[in-house]
Homo-oligomer: A and B are copies of this chain.
């Protein structure tokens, strides 16, 4: 968006469904997290190696999200992920949601912290190498 020089980690084009609306006739706020989740999971699925295994799985630790303008139906969205920060056991991802027919129509921006944890202990574990490398290319 604002800075053309950043590199997207992942871009997903996604059609809004009518059921995403709520009684105010706008896409419900909780749905924004589902859109971002769909981009995140498709990004993981696009990586050239395992992003989860028996010893490490990603969990969403925190999310901050700004609702910039209401999304109406019908619409096609573009959800874009960018690397904000790479830690030892976590990454922070910036995300924007814009309109597919007009990238200047910013519906939402924000960021999410994803931590890899041991499914057994729930304790943080080092980032999978394939995730770290992809995130570094997105810096």
Contact = CB atoms under 8 A, between A and B. Distances in A.
Instruction: Please indicate which of the listed interface residues A17, A23, A25, A59 has the most CB atoms of chain B within 10 Å of its own CB.
Output: A23
Identical chains bound together, number:
4
Interface residues of A, number: 36
B64 A60 contact: no
A22 interface: yes
Interface stretch (A2-10, A29-37, A86-94, A96-104): A29-37
Interface of A: 14-15, 17-19, 21-23, 25, 28-34, 37-38, 41-42, 45, 59-67, 69-70, 73-74, 110, 122
24 contacts: A14-B17, A15-B15, A18-B22, A19-B22, A19-B30, A19-B34, A21-B22, A21-B23, A22-B22, A22-B23, A23-B25, A28-B37, A29-B60, A30-B32, A30-B33, A30-B34, A30-B37, A33-B33, A59-B67, A60-B67, A61-B66, A62-B64, A62-B110, A64-B65
